């Protein structure tokens, strides 16, 4: 396992693809790890140096004391780029990863070549929803994480996909059950407190917005709001729920790759 040393712990990452190719950073959703992008690696690694990492509180990365903030998580990405001597990179983030991408686009756009924001929003959910989930997870521990795993199949995937490919859905949702409760709760706080709605106009990068027509978490309306707020942003919508990169892997991969290669 490859790690970068941060001030308070290690950040786990993985590199794939030609060393001389442009770098493409992939940022995971809340409750998953870098393997949520496995379906994209074979095709994208033909053209890019893929830099996947586990967001703080997930996978093989540090679980530091919470709550976290999107600024903190964005700072981790910049620290990762600095440690690997990467000046600029393309960035793709899904859900929470998309919030991190928005923060980077607003505050560190000079470090990015392009931005792809998948199944995300400028503001995700309400304080009440997140506070309730944080309380449940901190009180229930690993048992609560397993309950969230079972409930997440319906949020992350359409019924048709979950029925047709149960092993694929279970593989992704199992990542949630394996996430440390303290890390998950700390990241829930980061998502709860993030609100980019009044700052989107500061993003001045080639941007692609990806939405899922059946995504009840970050809806197509949320995606259209991002498109309207970011000058020149492109928009694509797939027949999928929240994890569109998993549910419609091949069409998702091709459309994003077309965008990236046109930059």
pLDDT number for residue 107:
98
pLDDT number for residue 1:
74
Nearest 5 degrees, angle CA 186-CA 190-CA 196?
175
pLDDT number for residue 168:
94
Nearest-angstrom CA–CA distance, 250 and 253: 5
Q: Which residues of the chain have pLDDT under 50?
A: none
Q: Environment class of residue 216 by beta-carbon count within 10 Å: exposed (0-12), middle (13-18) or buried (19+)? A: exposed
pLDDT number for residue 92:
98
pLDDT number for residue 56:
98
pLDDT exceeding 90 applies to what percent of the chain?
Answer: 96
Question: What would the 3-class secondary structure string for 202-240 be?
Answer: HCCCCEEEEEECCCCCCCHHHHHHHHHHCCCCEEEEECC
Q: In this structure, what are the phi and psi dihedrals at residue 115, rounded to the nearest 5 degrees?
A: -135, 125
Put the strands of the sheet holding 89-94 in their side by side order: 2-6, 9-16, 49-53, 23-27, 89-94, 112-118, 207-212, 234-238
**β-bridge partners, 208:** 116, 234
C-alpha to C-alpha distances, 4 to 34, 43, 182, 243, nearest whole angstrom: 15, 26, 21, 27
Q: Which of 80, 23, 86 is nearest to 49 (CA)?
A: 23
pLDDT number for residue 169:
94
pLDDT number for residue 151:
87
Token pair 């560190």 in the structure block, residue: 108
10 Å Cβ neighbour count for 82?
12
Delineate the domains of the chain, giving CATH numbers in brackets. 2-261 (3.40.50.1820)
Report how far Cα 70 is from the mean position of its chain's Cα atoms: 12
Q: What is the pLDDT of residues 114-140, one digit of tens each?
A: 999 999 999 999 999 999 999 999 999
pLDDT number for residue 263:
82
Q: What is the pLDDT of residues 196-236, one digit of tens each?
A: 999 999 999 999 999 999 999 999 999 999 999 999 999 99
């Amino acid at each position: 396992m490859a790690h970068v040393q941060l001030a308070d712990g290690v950040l786990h990452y993985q590199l794939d693809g030609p060393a001389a190719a442009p770098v493409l950073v992939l940022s995971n959703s809340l409750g998953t790890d870098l393997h949520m992008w496995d379906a994209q690696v074979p095709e994208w690694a033909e053209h890019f140096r893929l830099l996947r990492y586990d967001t703080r509180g997930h996978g093989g990365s540090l679980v530091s004391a919470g709550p976290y903030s999107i600024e903190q998580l964005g700072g981790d990405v910049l620290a990762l780029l600095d440690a690997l001597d990467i000046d600029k990179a393309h960035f793709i983030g899904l859900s929470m990863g998309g919030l991190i991408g928005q923060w980077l686009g607003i505050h560190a756009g000079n470090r990015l070549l392009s931005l792809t924001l998948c199944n995300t929003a400028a503001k995700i959910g309400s304080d009440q929803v997140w506070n309730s989930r944080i309380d449940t997870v901190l009180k229930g521990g690993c048992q609560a994480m397993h309950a969230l795993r079972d409930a997440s199949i319906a949020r992350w995937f359409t019924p048709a996909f979950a029925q047709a490919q149960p092993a694929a859905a279970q593989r992704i949702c199992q990542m949630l059950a394996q996430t440390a409760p303290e890390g998950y709760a700390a990241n829930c706080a980061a998502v709860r407190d993030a609100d980019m709605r009044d700052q989107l106009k500061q993003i001045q990068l080639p941007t692609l917005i990806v939405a899922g027509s059946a995504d009840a978490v970050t809806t197509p309306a949320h995606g259209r709001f991002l498109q309207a707020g970011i000058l020149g942003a492109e928009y694509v919508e797939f027949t999928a729920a929240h994890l569109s990169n998993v549910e419609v892997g091949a069409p998702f991969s091709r459309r994003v790759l077309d965008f990236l290669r046109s930059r």
